[in-house]
Structure 1
Amino acid sequence: MTPWDLQKSLIAEIEELLAQMQLKNAAGEDVFGVKGYEQRLPETTDDEEDQSQFFPYFIVRIEEGNTPTDDEPWLVGTTVLFGICDYDKETNGHRTILEMITKITNRFLERPLLDSKFRANQNVSFALQDEDTYPFYFGAIDIKFYVPKIGRSDDWS
């Protein structure tokens, strides 16, 4: 197992968890679900394009990893970043971000195993943006996963 395997599995799991959420894209149209990306949003290549075309989205970033001893698995830090668009000033998009965060954190606090390979650490944190960026809203979850690693061998033959 590799951190990239974890990243792919985590994206698939979050897309499934959020598949029934009705949100808006940047054009104000209804969409269901949230598209996940690895590490960053895709680059825009046309001068007419901008990154608002990706709303709603989430990004799974692999931040760091460590393995303190020979017998312990990798402990891989991930950050899940969310971006949504909400033009309705009554609903205030931070509530939607909190709903997304709650769905994901509850899933891993209740059932920490992902794809029968990766186990979520119970020390999870989240944050919301602190600036007004209406109609765009952002939030994040930091969660670490135990990722199996290859054992050491002293046999060089």
Structure 2
Amino acid sequence: MIPLNLQSALRNRIEEVLSGTRLSSQEGVNKEIQVFAQHIPRKAKSASRNTEETSYPCVIVYLDEGEDGLVKVLFVVAVHDASSNNQGYRDVLNIIDKIYIDLKRSPQVEETFELNSESLKWFYNDQDNYPYYFGWIETTFEVPSILRDDLEGLI
């Protein structure tokens, strides 16, 4: 399916763009930003009380909707920052900025998909979800259209 190919290519690209960027996590250490397709993976329940590794910070490449020749993709950014200065929004906006700049500079993905630059918008979720902070980028990509099988017979 074409949208899944786009999602996979974008996931790989965002991993590359954010490679080496480390942010605070629930475990109290700085760690690499994880990139997921569609959803954060579910963690298995642990019988012990040890803190499991969490998925934050992360970016989710989310297929939102599509129509002939277009696919709407959201890049959901989620971070955890338990510091009392309430500055986790800065990490969200820095991640958004890196992705936004990369998409503007190189709007073509794998020579198959093209970003519709007019659709590129970012948002920040200003609700108080402390210690979690969220934002997202909304995009629309032009994708190959499916051609009718009987078209040649109509000519």
Give TM class, smaller chain: 0.7 to 0.9
Verify: 1:110 aligned to 2:105, yes or no: yes
Verify: 1:25 aligned to 2:25, yes or no: yes
Structure 1's unaligned 5+ residue stretches are 68-73
Amino acid of the residue matched to residue 29 of structure 1? V
- In 2, the alpha carbon distance for the partners of 1:84 and 1:51 equals 16
Aligned to 2:62: 61
Change (3 A) 1:88 1:115: same
SS in 2 for 1:104: helix
Shift of 1:153: 3.6
SS in 1 for 2:14: helix
Q: Deviations over 1:73-100 (max 9, x none)?
A: x110011111111233447011111111
Aligned to 1:71: none
Identity %: 30
Structure 2's unaligned 5+ residue stretches are none
Shift of 1:43: 2.0
Q: Deviations over 1:99-132 (max 9, x none)?
A: 1111111111122111111111112111111212
TM-score normalised by structure 1 residue count: 0.84
SS in 1 for 2:54: helix
Change (3 A) 1:130 1:42: same
SS in 2 for 1:103: helix
Give the CA RMSD over aligned residues.
2.2
Q: Which has the higher helix share?
A: 2
Amino acid of the residue matched to residue 2 of structure 1? I
Aligned to 2:134: 138
- In 2, the alpha carbon distance for the partners of 1:31 and 1:62 equals 26
